[in-house]
Homo-oligomer: A and B are copies of this chain.
């Protein structure tokens, strides 16, 4: 019997990736679905659609609604939420560190800590000092991690993830892709994606 799997595609600058990242692991475990965390960058994907900024900033009506909706979604999930003073925040360093962490077994914990820093603690995740502080809190050797994060292997992996995302037709985050290539978009679709992943085995 094959184990059902689900790829979770996320970007640290993405707002709805926050509640998704905080809740997906428990849901996947409860359903017996193996989860693959796939960090990628939305920048190149948005650029291909003609956007040089978050669509939530380009379309202010939609942006205003999103912040209100996100606050309601977090409240309903019991997640702390404080609207960040800066949006979007560059997630490049955090994404590279996440790839190191995923290889070393502390990735999920780091990813959740970064989202919490940004969306619950008003911290700037584009600031290397904040990423360092998160690593220290997780009892990691920040200097060694930063060095690996800047290696060609990790830089290439993130670039390949982003290219894979484009190939899969991903246009936003979070996205979920099952082993048979079915794409789901948004925190609202986690349950449907897990059900599909199980049925696909």
* Chain A 32-74 near chain B by CB (<8 Å), digits 1 or 0: 0000000000000000010000000001011011001100100
Contact residues in B for A184 (Cβ distance below 8 Å): 69
* Chain A 141-179 near chain B by CB (<8 Å), digits 1 or 0: 000000000000000000000000000010110000000
* A183 close to B (CB within 8 Å): yes
Contact residues in B for A49 (Cβ distance below 8 Å): 59, 61
The answer to whether A169 and B64 touch across the interface, beta carbons within 8 angstroms, is yes
Number of copies: 2
Complex Cα–Cα for A39 and B129 (A): 51
The answer to whether B192 and A65 touch across the interface, beta carbons within 8 angstroms, is no
- Cβ contact of A68, chosen from B72, B172, B183, cutoff 8 A: B183
State which residues 54-109 of A face B: CB under 8 Å: 59, 61-62, 64-65, 68-69, 72, 76
The answer to whether B171 and A61 touch across the interface, beta carbons within 8 angstroms, is yes
Assuming the A-B contacts A49-B59, A59-B171, A171-B59, are A65 and B183 also in contact, with contact meaning beta carbons closer than 8 angstroms in the complex? yes
Shortest CB–CB separation between residue A129 and chain B, in angstroms? Answer: 36
Q: Which residues of A contact B (CB under 8 A)?
A: 49, 59, 61-62, 64-65, 68-69, 72, 76, 169, 171-172, 183-185, 188-189, 192
What are 19 A-B contacts with C-beta separation under 8 Å? A49-B59, A49-B61, A59-B171, A61-B169, A61-B171, A62-B171, A62-B172, A64-B169, A65-B169, A65-B171, A65-B183, A65-B185, A68-B183, A69-B184, A69-B185, A69-B189, A72-B192, A76-B192, A188-B188
